[in-house]
Structure 1
Amino acid sequence: MKFISNMAGVRKLLRPVFWTLGFAALLALGITMAYLYAAQTTPHGKRSIKALGDNVLISFDEVDIPHIKANSQSDALFALGYLHATERSWQMEMNRRIASGRLSEILGSETINIDRFIRTMGIKRAAEHQFDKYPVATKRLLQAYADGVNAGNAHLGWALPIEYFLTGSKPGHWSPTDSVAWMLMMALDLGGNWHKELQRLELSRVLSTKQIWEVMPPFEAEPVTTMDFAKLYKDLNVFNPQAGPVNSRSKKLPATELSDIDIPGSKDGIGSNNWALSGKLTASGKPLLANDPHLGLSAPAIWYFAHLDAPGLNVLGGTLPGIPAVILGRAENYAWSFTNTNPDVQDLYIEQIDTQNTGMYRGPDGPLAFKVRQEIIDVKGAPSVNLLVRETRHGPVISDSYARAKRAIDTNRFALALRWTALDIENQSVAGLLELNRAKDMDSFRHLLRKNYAPMQNVVMADVDGNITYQAAGVAPKRQLRHGLYGVAPALGWDKQYDWHGYVPFEQLPSSHNPEQGWLATANQRIIAANDPNPLTGDWDLSARYERIVDLIKAKSSHDIDNMKMMQADTLSLTSIPLLTLFKASAPTHPLGSKAVELSKNFDGNMRVDSVGALIFNAWADHLTRNLFSRLGYIFHETYGERNYRGALLGQIQNPNSPWCDNPKTEAQETCLDASNDAYNKALEYLSKEYGNDPSKWTWGSAHIAISEHRPFSKIPILGKLFNLRTPFPGDSNTINVGRLELLRSDQPYETLQAPSLRAIYDLADLDKSLFIFQSGQSGWVQSNFYRNMMPLWAKNEYLPLQMKPQNIKRSLELVNK
Structure 2
Amino acid sequence: MVRIFRWLMRITVAVLVLVGLVVGAVYYFASRSLPDYDKRLTVDGLDTPVEILRDHANVPHIFSDDDAGVFFGLGYAHAQDRLWQMMVMRRTVQGRLSEVFGARTVEIDKLLRRFDLYRLARTSVAAQDADTLAALEAYAAGVNARLDEINRDALGRGAPEMFLFDMPIAPWHPADSIAVIKLMAVQMMSQLDREVLRARLSLALPDKARLADILPDAPGTGVGALPDYAALMPGADTLRFAGGMGGAANDPLSPFRGPGLANASNGWAAAPSRSASGGTLLANDPHLGFSAPSIWYLARLELSSGGVIGGTIPGMPLVLSGRSDRLGWGLTSSYLDDLDVMIEELNPDNPEQYRTPDGFQPFETRRSIIEIKDSAPVTLTLRWSENGPVLPGSHADLGTITPPGHVAAVSWTALDDQDTTMSAGLGLMRARSIREAMVAGEKFVAPSQNLILADRLDVAMKTVGAMPRRNANHDSQGRMPALGAVEHNRWQGRLSYDANPEFIAPSGGIVGNTNNKLVERPFPLHVSFDWGDTQRVQRWTRLMQLRHVHSRDSFVEAQLDTVSVTARTLLPLVGKDLWFTGEAAPDGTTERRRHMALELLADWNGEMNEYLPEPLIYMAWMRALQERLVRDELGPLADELTHVEPLFIERVFRDVDGAGAWCDVIHSTPRETCSDIARMALDDALTWLTETQGTAIESLAWGDLHQATHDHAVLGEVPLLRYFVNIRQSTSGGDNTLNRAKTAGKGANPFRNVHGAGFRGVYDFADPDSSVFVISTGQSGHVLSRHYDDMATLWRRGEYIPMSLDTDLARAASVGVTRLLPKGE
Question: One fold, TM greater than 0.5?
Answer: yes
Map of 1:403-802 to 2, 5 A cutoff? 404-410=397-403, 412-464=404-456, 466-479=457-470, 484-528=475-519, 534-581=525-572, 582-583=574-575, 585-586=577-578, 589-631=590-632, 632-641=634-643, 644-655=644-655, 658-744=660-746, 746-802=747-803
Does 1:377 find its partner at 2:367? no
Q: Greater CA deviation, 537-546 or 523-532? A: 523-532
Cα distance in structure 2, aligned partners of 1:181 and 1:308: 22
**Alignment deviations for residues 163-222 of structure 1 (CA, whole Å, 9 cap, x no partner):** 112223344432211111110111222231111111122223222542222211122466
For structure 1, which segment, 190-199 or 165-174, has the greater mean C-alpha deviation from structure 2 after superposition?
165-174
Quick one: structure 1 residues 670 and 646, their matched pair in 2 at CA, closer, same or farther if it must change by over 3 Å? same
CA contact (8 A) 1:190 1:342 kept: no
Alignment partner of 1:112 out of 87, 99, 106: 106
TM-score, length basis structure 2: 0.92
Residue 283 of structure 1: aligned partner: 276
| Deviation string, structure 1 residues 671-723 (Cα, Å, up to 9, x no partner) | 11111111101100111122223111112111211111211222333222221
* Aligned residue-pair number: 801
Farther off after superposition, 157-166 or 59-68: 157-166
Question: 2 CA distance for matches of 1:210 and 1:482?
Answer: 22
Shift of 1:29: 4.5
> Is the 8 Å Cα contact of residues 73 and 313 (structure 1) preserved in structure 2?
no
Amino acid at match of 1:190: M
Contact 2:773 2:802 in 1 (8 A): yes
- Measured at CA, do residues 485 and 301 of structure 1 come closer, stay the same or move farther in structure 2, by a change above 3 Å? same
Shift of 1:136: 4.7
Shift of 1:386: 1.2
Q: 2:355 and 2:222 mapped to 1: Cα distance? A: 29
CA distance in 2, matches of 1:28, 1:79: 36
2:146 paired with 1:141 = no
C-alpha change, 1:601 and 1:474, in structure 2 (3 Å) is: same
Q: Deviations over 1:56-82 (max 9, x none)?
A: 011111222110001121111111111
Pick aligned residue for 2:290 from 281, 297, 311: 297
Aligned partners of 1:293 and 1:756 also within 8 Å: yes
State the 1:654 CA deviation. Answer: 1.2
Cα 1:242–1:381 change in 2 (3 A) is farther
Contact 1:225/1:484 (<8 A) preserved: no
Deviations 1:437-466 (A, max 9, x none): 2223332122211111111211111122x2
The 3 A distance-change label for structure 1 pair 809 and 221 is closer
Unaligned residue ranges in structure 1 (runs of 5+)? none
Taking the aligned partners of 1:359 and 1:37, their CA distance within structure 2 comes to 54
What amino acid maps onto 2:506 in structure 1? P
Tell whether 2:809 aligns with 1:813: no
Query: How far is the alpha carbon of 1:238 from its aligned partner?
Result: 6.5
Q: Which amino acid aligns with 2:270?
A: L
Give me the whole-angstrom Cα distance separating, in 1, the residues matched to 2:208 and 2:147. Answer: 54
Structure 2 unaligned residues grouped into runs of 5+: 583-589
TM-score w.r.t. length of structure 1? 0.93
Q: RMSD across aligned C-alpha pairs, in angstroms?
A: 2.5
Alpha-carbon contact 1:130-1:425 (below 8 Å) kept: yes
Q: Is the 8 A contact 1:521 1:546 kept in 2?
A: no
Residue 516 to residue 136, structure 1, CA distance change in 2 (3 Å) = closer
Residue 781 of structure 1 aligns to a residue whose secondary structure is coil
Preserved contact between residue 209 and residue 230 of structure 1 (Cα < 8 Å) = no
Shift of 1:431: 1.8
Cα 1:355–1:483 change in 2 (3 A) is closer
Determine helix, strand or coil for the equivalent of 1:633. helix
CA distance in 2, matches of 1:529, 1:683: 38
The alignment-based identity, stated in percent, is 29
SS of residue paired to 1:205: helix
Shift in CA distance, 458/37, structure 1 to aligned 2, threshold 3 Å: closer
Match of 1:243 in 2: 242
Whole-angstrom CA distance in 2 between matches of 1:403 and 1:504: 28
Query: C-alpha separation between the residues in 2 aligned to 1:552 and 1:521?
Result: 12
> Is the aligned partner of 1:50 residue 2:44?
yes
Q: Which letter maps to 1:212?
A: L
Q: Equivalent residue of 2:58, what SS?
A: coil
Correspondence for 2:59: 65
Q: Secondary structure at the match of 1:219?
A: coil
Indicate if the aligned counterparts of 2:221 and 2:520 stay in contact, CA closer than 8 A: no
Secondary structure of the residue aligned to 2:623 is helix
SS of 1:647's equivalent in the other structure is helix
Counterpart check, 1:329 vs 2:329? no
**C-alpha distance after superposition, 1:459-480 (max 9, x if no partner):** 111122x211211111111346
Pair 532,225 (structure 1): closer, same or farther in 2 beyond 3 Å: closer
Partner of 1:218: 217
Equivalence map 1:124-273=2 (5 Å): 124-156=118-150, 157-159=154-156, 160-207=158-205, 208-220=207-219, 224-233=223-232, 235-237=234-236, 239-240=238-239, 243-247=242-246, 253-254=251-252, 258=254, 263-264=256-257, 266-268=259-261, 270-273=263-266
Q: What CA distance in whole angstroms lies between the structure 2 residues aligned with 1:38 and 1:594?
A: 60
